[in-house]
Amino acid sequence: MITMRMYDLIEKKRNGEALLPDEIHFFIDGYTNGDIPDYQVSAFLMAIYFQGMTEAERAELTAAMAASGDQIDLSPISGIKVDKHSTGGVGDTTTLILAPLVASAGVPVAKMSGRGLGHTGGTIDKLEAIPGFHVELTNDEFMNLVNKNKVSVVGQTGNLTPADKKLYSLRDVTATVNSIPLIASSIMSKKIASGADAIVLDVKTGAGAFMKDYQDAKELAEAMVSIGNHVGRKTMAVISDMSQPLGRVVGNALEVKEAIDTLRGNGPSDLTELCLELGSHMTVLAGMANSADEARKQLSENLNNGKALDRFKTFLSSQGGDSQVVDNPDLLPQAAQQIELTAKKSGTVSGIIADDVGTAAMMLGAGRATKESAIDLSVGIVLHKKIGDPVKEGEPLLTIHTNDSPIDAVKEKLYASIKVSDNGDDVAPSLIHDTIT
């Protein structure tokens, strides 16, 4: 028997050659079980960073990482299970809206979600702002709920993609996070291990996104779509704008309220549009509509005829949540104080740096600075103006919902994040930049 050596794989990748499937599995298996040390993997990651990977290598790496731990079998759920993944944004409430919305059109939504870290909020945190709601379900309970109501959301459990966890920590300290093949395989391995048949990706670009630059976002989207299709999961991506926060609010309970408004057909136009766009692709991939136009028409109707909102109520009560919050949002956690930030001069809003608004929300307690931090579900920021809106001196730009945070520092951060210009030629950025299939 010929034994493989990690040394040879490092050398091969350093010289720009493509690795064979067996070699990729040898690396992932050996690293996961501790046979291959961090120092060799560090060198290997740096070689990948500089030499890249072919489409076949990326797909093999993703499959090997997905197979490194538990893999969820969603086959007891009938229908085509479509998952949505966002690369992360500020005030991105789409999952809360999309899950009941597409379920109302017959799409089975079996969603595993996470908590937030840093300036982006997690879906589980937002849902926990609803009194009584819980995400700890057994596998049987989870699948039964999806079969019955077409929608359930649970927290991540089990040992999913341990190879990705180890690699991500190592990339973090070896300056190798920013590599398209490594990012794409990391994200896709988790989606594949969670059992989706088809995947809709929302790749964000702009100041508040992980991929700030449009070309990088496009390259990442193409890489992930290629991987998904290589490993037999229909995958498509939408590249959407995250130069300013999505919708008008940032903060957990505030975003639940915004989701309810949107499900009622009264949501902010950008958030509504993104949900219709992503939702119609999900509906088509699930085989519940023949075209994106047909799906969009159905979904828009369900926002206006109460079906999406009814599905949200059913979803909440099926997981112990108080569905009365839908008609009485005062039942959601509320902050003690509301403080307005007013414009220092008249003009047009020309920029709202999403990252900084997210950081301000985190300073209020809406997000976690570290994995262990406790968060305050009631606090956050409500934007009254968005890019392209005219504003008069003294008019409120936004309202801060706060309990006991360092308010002067938060105000300073927010003032610095909102630009008001005199020339009046600033317009709202377009929301959907591209669609990759």
For the chain, how are helix, strand and coil distributed in percent, rounded to 5?
Answer: 45, 15, 40
C-alpha distances (whole Å) from 144 to each of 105, 156, 193, 327, 397 are: 18, 17, 20, 27, 46
| Residues from 206 through 235 that contact ligand URA (CB under 6 A) | 210
In this chain, which stretch among 43-51, 152-160, 182-190, 371-379 interacts with ligand URA, using CB under 6 A?
Answer: 182-190
Report if residue 205 touches ligand URA, rule: CB under 6 A: no
CA distance 236 to 220: 12
Tell me how crowded residue 240 is: count the other CB atoms within 10 A of its CB.
29
| Residues from 365 through 394 that contact ligand URA (CB under 6 A) | none
Candidates 41, 63, 99, 187: give the one binding ligand URA (CB under 6 A).
Answer: 187
| Residue whose C-beta lies closest to ligand URA | 186
Q: Which among Ca ion, ligand URA, none contacts residue 91 (Cβ within 5 to 8 A by kind)? A: Ca ion
In this chain, which stretch among 76-84, 178-186, 198-206, 406-414 interacts with ligand URA, using CB under 6 A?
Answer: 178-186
Tell me how crowded residue 263 is: count the other CB atoms within 10 A of its CB.
28
Minimum CB–partner distance for residue 182 and ligand URA (Å): 6
Minimum CB–partner distance for residue 13 and ligand URA (Å): 18
Mutual angle of helices 252-263 and 94-103, in 10-degree steps: 30
Which one of the listed residues 104, 179, 186, 226 is annotated catalytic? 186
Note if 190 is an active site residue. Answer: yes
Residues 65-104, mask of contacts with Ca ion (x by CB under 5 A): --------------------------x-x-----------
Nearer to ligand URA, 108 or 195 (CB): 195
Which one of the listed residues 13, 25, 58, 85 is annotated catalytic? 85
Nearer to Ca ion, 198 or 274 (CB): 274
Q: Determine phi and psi for 355, rounding to 5 degrees.
A: -55, -45
- The DSSP string of 186-252 is HHHHHHHHTT-SEEEEEEEESTTSSB-SHHHHHHHHHHHHHHHHHTT-EEEEEEEE-SS-SSSEESH
Please say whether the beta carbons of 326 and 316 come within 8 A: yes
- Classified as helix, coil or strand, 378 is coil
Report if residue 193 touches ligand URA, rule: CB under 6 A: no
Note if 186 is an active site residue. Answer: yes
Q: Which among Ca ion, ligand URA, none contacts residue 186 (Cβ within 5 to 8 A by kind)? A: ligand URA
Please say whether the beta carbons of 391 and 343 come within 8 A: yes
Minimum CB–partner distance for residue 189 and ligand URA (Å): 9
Minimum CB–partner distance for residue 184 and ligand URA (Å): 8
Burial of 370 from C-beta contacts in 10 A (0-12 / 13-18 / 19+): exposed
Minimum CB–partner distance for residue 276 and Ca ion (Å): 16
Candidates 32, 186, 235, 359: give the one binding ligand URA (CB under 6 A).
Answer: 186
Q: Which among Ca ion, ligand URA, none contacts residue 214 (Cβ within 5 to 8 A by kind)? A: none
Q: Are strands 234-241 and 109-113 parallel, antiparallel or unpaired?
A: unpaired
C-alpha distances (whole Å) from 170 to each of 43, 51, 191 are: 11, 18, 21
Q: How far apart are the first and last CA of the chain?
A: 43
Please say whether the beta carbons of 57 and 65 come within 8 A: no
Which one of the listed residues 171, 307, 385, 401 is annotated catalytic? 171
Report if residue 183 touches ligand URA, rule: CB under 6 A: yes
Minimum CB–partner distance for residue 380 and Ca ion (Å): 9
Nearer to Ca ion, 93 or 252 (CB): 93
Mutual angle of helices 38-51 and 21-32, in 10-degree steps: 140
In this chain, which stretch among 42-50, 173-181, 246-254, 341-349 interacts with Ca ion, using CB under 5 A?
Answer: 246-254
Which one of the listed residues 83, 92, 164, 270 is annotated catalytic? 164
In this chain, which stretch among 25-33, 183-191, 284-292, 410-418 interacts with ligand URA, using CB under 6 A?
Answer: 183-191
Q: Which among ligand URA, Ca ion, none contacts residue 247 (Cβ within 5 to 8 A by kind)? A: Ca ion
CA distance 139 to 329: 31
Going by the DSSP 8-state scheme, the letter that residue 2 receives in this structure is P
Nearer to ligand URA, 180 or 256 (CB): 180
CA distance 358 to 374: 16
CA distance 102 to 381: 28
Give the binding-site size for Ca ion (rule: CB under 5 A).
Answer: 4
Catalogue the active-site residues. 85, 164, 171, 186, 190
Catalog residues that contact ligand URA under the rule CB under 6 A.
168, 182-183, 186-187, 210
Catalog residues that contact Ca ion under the rule CB under 5 A.
91, 93, 247, 249
